[in-house]
Amino acid sequence: AQSVTQPDIHITVSEGASLELRCNYSYGATPYLFWYVQSPGQGLQLLLKYFSGDTLVQGIKGFEAEFKRSQSSFNLRKPSVHWSDAAEYFCAVATSSNTGKLIFGQGTTLQVKP
Amino acid sequence: DAGVTQSPTHLIKTRGQQVTLRCSPKSGHDTVSWYQQALGQGPQFIFQYYEEEERQRGNFPDRFSGHQFPNYSSELNVNALLLGDSALYLCASRAGTGVRRYEQYFGPGTRLTVT
């Protein structure tokens, strides 16, 4: 069965510092990968997606993610974090055999120190 | 371009009652999925509707049912509410063709509290 693991439940970084949030997935073929962000009490906003091609994908708000097939990972990065980036981040996977549903990780809560 | 909308925003119900949540998809989208997000968890897939039929279902009991209307809007119904049904219920919509069918857009959610 497909699964997504986000090893870090909570991360704290200083404003202006770089950020990397980890995501590992379990699926035999090439998955379709997503990162979503959720502010408190809000729905999910799509940050970026990977379908195929270039393994480094750019998203909104200055985020990027890199797909590494050999490591079954899709880590999210940002070179310089802003206080407004504090939120919960979810990695998700969809598969060609299962277009109906997204499988989400547990989420990583990002706290930004001034 | 209106995104996914959901109503109501918040809802408080008593154990054993029934509840109906509503969702209007993003313009141009014809497929609607529902997710349950318990506190501190990632969203869990409940089911998906396309062409007014349930196409896929997650691991949820029959107390959870849904409907899709000809205008693509959707309802989620939950019967015999349990305390454990307290959660944020998210609606997501997507287009039906090409790789874009894997890309889902979410509404703001309905916060259901069961007492």
Average pLDDT (B11-19) is: 98
**Backbone torsions φ then ψ of B101, nearest 5 degrees:** -70, -10
Say whether pLDDT at B32 is over 70: yes
Nearest to B33 by CA among A1, A99, A90, A30: A99
**Nearest residue, CB atoms, A94 vs list B6, B102, B108:** B102
Q: Dig out the tokens for B45 from the structure.
A: 């897939």
CA atoms lying within 13 Å on the CB side of residue B109: 21
Query: pLDDT for B43-102, tens place per residue?
Result: 999 999 999 999 989 999 999 999 999 999 999 999 999 999 999 999 999 986 777 778
CATH number for A86: 2.60.40.10
Q: Which domain holds residue A57?
A: 3-113
pLDDT tens series, chain A, 114 aa? 789 999 999 999 999 999 999 999 998 677 899 999 999 878 899 999 998 888 999 999 999 999 999 999 999 999 999 999 999 999 999 876 666 689 999 999 999 999
CB contact under 8 A, A46 and B92: no
Burial class (CB in 10 A: 0-12, 13-18, 19+), A107: buried
Partnered with residue A34 across adjacent β-strands are A49, A92
For chain A, what is the domain count? 1
Q: Which residues of B sit within 8 Å Cβ distance of A?
A: 4, 6, 31, 33, 35, 40-45, 48, 55-56, 58, 90, 92, 99, 101-109, 111
**Nearest residue, CB atoms, B42 vs list A51, A100, A106:** A106
pLDDT of residue B10: 96
CB contact under 8 A, A102 and B104: yes
**Closest-CA distance of chain B to residue A56, Å:** 18
Question: From 3.40.50.300, 2.102.10.10, 2.60.40.10, 3.20.20.70, which CATH number describes the B5-114 domain?
Answer: 2.60.40.10
CB contact under 8 A, A32 and B102: yes
Beta-carbon contacts of A47 under 8 Å, excluding residues fewer than 6 positions away, are: A34, A35, A36, A37, A59, A60, A61, A63, A76, A89
Q: Which DSSP letter does residue B15 get?
A: T
Nearest to A21 by CA among A51, B45, A33, B112: A33
